Amino acid sequence: MSHYQVNDGVAVITLDNPPINAMALALRRRLADAIHAVQADPAVRAIVITGAGRGFSGGGDITEFDLPAISQVPLPAELLTLIESGSKPVVAALHGMALGGGLELALACHARVAHAQTKVGLPEVQLGLVPGAGGTQRLPRLVGPELALNMIAYGKTREAHSLRDSGLFDLLTDEPPLGAAVTLARDLAARCAEGGALRRTSKLLLQMPNAQAFFAFARATVKAQSQGMPAPSACVDAVENSVTQPFKEGLRREMESFTRLRVTPEFAGLRHAFLAERKAAEIRGLPSDVMPRTVERVVVIGAGTMGTGIAMSLANAGLPVTLLEREQPALARGLATVREHYEADLKKGRLTRQQFEQRLGLIHGALGFDAVRDADLVIEAVFEDLEVKRQVFEQIDAIARPGTVLATNTSMLDVDRIAAFTRRPQDVLGLHFFSPAHVMKLLEIVRGACTSADVLATAMALARRIGKIAVVSGVCEGFIGNRMFESYLMQAGLLLDEGAWPQQVDRAIEKWGMSMGPFRVCDLAGNDLSAKIRQQRLARTPELVYSRTFDAVVELGRYGQKVGRGWYDYMPGQRAPLPSDEVNAAIVAESQRLGLQRRAISDEEIADRLVLALVNEGAKILEEGIAHQASDIDVVYAAGYGFPRWRGGPMFAADRRGLADVITTMGRVSRRPDYQRGADFWQPAELLCRLAERGDSFGTLNHSEHL
């Protein structure tokens, strides 16, 4: 997993632990052995450490964090001290990525050479941790406390060229960095032979005259932005220690903080979310030798909000896109929207002029369906109506060449019925983007009954290419995310009938951790759109119970933010929600119509009813085989619905709570007014009951148990 070769006095040690050269125990041991060997080899005058494959190192092995390996020697900090304290110069040759423990390893080397596009960072805070191998102590000594704190407390990854003048790198290159690193290692060895000293990062002096005021301000800023998460504030403390404490003491306190944070519920949830995203990419039943189809030319049908967002997602990844409409005015509006988005990004510095021109040049407009003839992939993003989609897919089917992948962006409709509108259902699947599509990371890939393996593989490959987090769903109304969200919304409305107010429901669930409450979400999405979905559901399943206040709000013309009035009032040019007397009066009128005595409802009850509605529906989705595994549901909600990532996702949160307690609480909240049919709504899924009876969890499920 780590090996070296000697070339004219320079030993090149290669980290080799696919796919990202994670600093697992076995790799640490091999690296330590190699360091000991080359330090003792008289033929070696200098050392270069590089990474095999696609990068230097992606950091620590997160799967070891609850295993004995996390505390077995050599510990990461001990290994890096071994490297830094050696008598022979060590140069890191960085390419691809140097993240977390990988960057910490590079910091302990005596010099660093990097390819200009190398992604570097200390993202541990995103897992609820501080760096644990000296990153909080060495990085400030190289780049200064202010930049180091920004990188550590926010955990953002940066490309090496953006840090060109920071002091982090001795040399940046547009070529593979190994050759330049070997040359630099020889130069350093020659200087040492002439009596020069190695630059050891831990020995660099670090002074900051205004340290107390700076860190007080930084601590207050981070605290205000971190929503009570402990890791960001701990990062500030650790970087402050690099300024105020000797290196060894700062290192000791860093490890103390790392160890403390590693047992917090926040770390457990964030770690689960991190691993769940990677697990979602492993599709059961997909042959290992299946190859995705080539996708180089894409047509997006529909130049509305969703269609333009999808087009930009593709163009941002370098894919040529034709945006197709029936009429010139609609096409012109769509292309103008694209230009406006890119111009805004250019103005804010998010794009260079070259990137602006490149992306804009990749998106072309067309009228009619002729552009479909040469497409590798066609994505339909038209109005959410089955008859409209039938017309579109029949025309696509008649024109597209054999082998073209046909995708629908439907958020609710039956993908199998849409596939049946064609003579090639094996080529059809759902690609459910979330709005705004060029911003939101989640992509639900809906596998139809006839979808072929290579079409599914093509969709997964496309998701990776355009930087989306993909989750495969089976076919059902609303798939994973929207099907669960409807149950969540139903409870939100019924809480209003009983005594809650929209602002109270939103505030309670946001305090619990959701990024936005249900009524703010409805205003953002459009209450008229929600009404159409609700009408379709009630037509198919009339026994469902929604609060009539949903319809009352729409009847009042309160469609949401787009018209300045929805569940809330909005001041012109502002998005801050203001409670509405008109809506509150409609809520009270509905309570009176139902003959209900409005009551005080606690924030705890609100959170229980909303979250457990998600959990129970999620259990049914697992039971039906719509989701492959519980963690897929967690990914959908953490990546697409604002579920607090530090809670892991609804199914993980239920496991942490205990499934027996989940069922007990559901029984308690099921005692609702008769019209709500609470006993039916809160009937626990059979899978949930089975797991609770055995003392098991969603996390212990294997696929066969819920098919």
Measure the CA–CA gap between 301 and 383, rounded to whole angstroms.
Answer: 10
Measure the CA–CA gap between 168 and 345, rounded to whole angstroms.
Answer: 28
Cβ-based neighbours of 525, under 8 Å, separated by 6 or more = 435, 560
pLDDT of residue 536: 85
Percent pLDDT > 70 in the chain is: 99
Q: Does residue 111 carry a pLDDT above 90?
A: yes
Contact 139, 202 (CB under 8 A): no
Q: Does residue 434 carry a pLDDT above 50?
A: yes
Residue range 169-215, pLDDT digits in tens = 999 999 999 999 999 999 999 999 998 999 999 999 888 888 899 99
Measure the CA–CA gap between 498 and 650, rounded to whole angstroms.
Answer: 25
Q: Does residue 4 carry a pLDDT above 80?
A: no
Catalytic residue among 124, 277, 444, 617: 124
As a whole number, mean pLDDT of residues 36-61 equals 94
pLDDT of residue 586: 97
pLDDT of residue 77: 93
Place of tokens 């499934």: 659
What are the φ and ψ backbone dihedral angles of 534, each rounded to 5 degrees?
-65, -40
The rounded mean pLDDT for the chain is 94
Residue range 302-313, pLDDT digits in tens = 999 999 999 999
Residue range 564-596, pLDDT digits in tens = 999 999 998 888 999 999 999 999 999 999 999
pLDDT of residue 707: 43
The tokens for 626 are 């719509």
The tokens for 36 are 């000991």
Q: Does residue 283 carry a pLDDT above 90?
A: no
Coil vs helix vs strand at 402: coil
As a whole number, mean pLDDT of residues 419-438 equals 95
pLDDT of residue 227: 80
Label residues 483-497 b or e (16+ Cβ within 10 Å = b): bbbbbbbbbbbbbbb
> Which helix (DSSP H) or strand (DSSP E) does residue 253 occupy?
helix 247-261
Cβ-based neighbours of 648, under 8 Å, separated by 6 or more = 268, 269, 270, 272, 273, 276, 634, 638, 656
Contact 406, 378 (CB under 8 A): yes
pLDDT of residue 63: 85
As a whole number, mean pLDDT of residues 638-665 equals 96
pLDDT of residue 71: 83
User: In one letter, which amino acid is 685?
Assistant: A
The tokens for 101 are 């423990």
pLDDT of residue 3: 65
pLDDT of residue 704: 47
Angle at which helix 230-244 crosses helix 135-143, to 10 degrees, equals 60
Place of tokens 């909080």: 136
Active site residue 104: yes
pLDDT of residue 85: 95
Active site residue 686: no
Q: Does residue 705 carry a pLDDT above 70?
A: no
pLDDT of residue 702: 55
Place of tokens 């670090």: 206
Q: Does residue 2 carry a pLDDT above 60?
A: no
Cβ-based neighbours of 669, under 8 Å, separated by 6 or more = 605, 608, 609, 612, 678, 682
Residue range 215-268, pLDDT digits in tens = 999 999 999 888 889 999 999 999 999 999 999 999 999 999 999 999 999 999
As a whole number, mean pLDDT of residues 389-393 equals 96
Contact 127, 271 (CB under 8 A): yes
Percent pLDDT > 90 in the chain is: 87
With CA atoms as reference, report the closest residue to 406 among 443, 431, 386, 432: 431
CB atoms within 10 A of CB 537: 18
Measure the CA–CA gap between 635 and 275, rounded to whole angstroms.
Answer: 10
The tokens for 309 are 């967002």
Q: Which domains does the chain have, with CATH numbers?
A: 2-222+232-242 (3.90.226.10), 298-473 (3.40.50.720), 481-706 (1.10.1040.50)
Catalytic residue among 64, 78, 104, 705: 104
